[in-house]
Amino acid sequence: MASSLLQSARNSTFSTFRRSYTTPQTMSSQRAMSLSSYLVKPAELNAALKGNAPTKLATSPRVIPLCASWFMPNDPQQRSGYEVFKQGHIPRARYISLSSFSNRSLLLNHPSFFDLDAVSDTSSPYPHMLPSPQVFTQAMRKLGIRRDDNIVVYDSAELGIFSAPRVAWTLRVFGHPSIHILNNYKLWVEEGFPVEQGEQHDLPESQYPEPKIDPSKVAAFEEVKEIAKDWNKEGREGVQILDARSPSRWSGADPEPRPGLSSGHIPGSISVALPELLDPETKTLLSRDELLDIFRTKGVDPLKPIISSCGTGVTASVIDAALTEAGFPETNRKVYDGSWTEWAQRVKATENLIHKTK
């Protein structure tokens, strides 16, 4: 009886939430009225580029396409995001990948682009953790990005939505006011919008000001550990942890791709696998109503705090983007930066903080 009442209350909350939802308005939509929401359709971006082209002489806020193509280290074809960028990209786009936020030498050797593994915390043993403000600033300046630019991040046509949300989230953590995600480059190509090939154009350095990290968007290991330790205790059910890894890795049935790393999940976490959030044919993020239905089915409460997690913090950012599109409050959400790679290495076996449900 109690469970049915709880489910009824949850459904009522989602129904009210759905009716009261309005499209999230970011500062970028105030600056470039042609970009209406966090997720941007190809036709919207094409129109915005025609009216706000990123020319060298432009003094008003520009629209900058930012390619964030990135492939896992175990990619069978050993592809790099920049090689895919050279094969085809939005005209005048700039390239950024996960490596750029961690590898200072990549920034020095390739000043016109960066990748998320290169602009991150190089002192951390975990992959592409958030960089320092200094490293982030250096990367933005090398890309010629200005503080008032409207940035639209996008992925490869093959993956649709994958690493672009991580780049977008990183930019938001450092307070860049105008961030969007293209939904998606696959449709951009299929709908016949312009594509060019070759190297990235030479870019004049900008004077991007050094920002501060917004800690309200980032969950650290210690915070997540306290939540996990209190899981299933009466009165301590407030924070929800959503995990974007595959259900088999989350359950512990399949191994992690990183050798020696235990699979399983953080106590109390909810499996919300990446493919569930994407259209299987177009690889676009699903519509607001479809996303709301998924989160409702998973038992996610839009009024309670949410921490998104995954293997290394990349697809956790896809969950966060889906929550934005679904209208979940920005103030109630964080991404666990280290995610499962950090968690499985730092918790002790005696703490019983790796759960399996084989």
Those residues with Cβ within 8 angstroms of residue 188's Cβ, 6 or more apart along the chain or in another chain: 42, 45, 46, 90, 154, 157, 182, 195
* Most confident among 44-58, 97-111, 220-234 (mean pLDDT): 220-234
Q: Which CATH superfamily does the domain covering 27-213 fall into? A: Rhodanese-like domain (3.40.250.10)
pTM value? 0.87
The reply to whether 310 belongs to the active site is: yes
Q: Apex CA 94: angle with CA 88 and CA 97, to 5°?
A: 90
Which of 272, 300, 310, 323 is labelled catalytic? 310
Q: What is the pLDDT of residues 225-235, one digit of tens each?
A: 999 998 877 66
* Spacing of C-alpha 249 from chain mean position: 20
Q: Find out whether the peptide bond into 52 is cis, omega within 30 degrees of 0.
A: no
Query: Is 216-351 assigned to CATH 3.40.250.10?
Result: yes
Closest C-alpha among 292, 323, 307, 327 to residue 14: 292
The answer to whether the beta carbons of residues 302 and 330 sit under 8 Å apart is no
Closest C-alpha among 238, 249, 304 to residue 272: 249
Q: What is the pLDDT of residues 207-250, one digit of tens each?
A: 999 999 999 999 999 999 999 998 877 665 689 999 999 999 99
What residue ranges do the domains of the chain occupy? 27-213, 216-351
Ranking 95-99, 255-259, 266-270, 352-356 by mean pLDDT, the lowest is 95-99
Distances (CA, A) of 212 to 111, 176, 216: 23, 10, 12
Q: What is the pLDDT of residues 134-149, one digit of tens each?
A: 989 988 998 999 999 9
Q: How confident is the model at residue 60 (pLDDT cuts 50, 70, 90)?
A: confident
Q: What is the pLDDT of residues 23-32, one digit of tens each?
A: 444 444 344 4
Is 216-351 in the same CATH topology as 27-213?
A: yes
Q: Which of helix, strand or coil describes residue 144?
A: coil
The CB density around residue 179, as the number of other CB atoms within 10 Å, is: 22
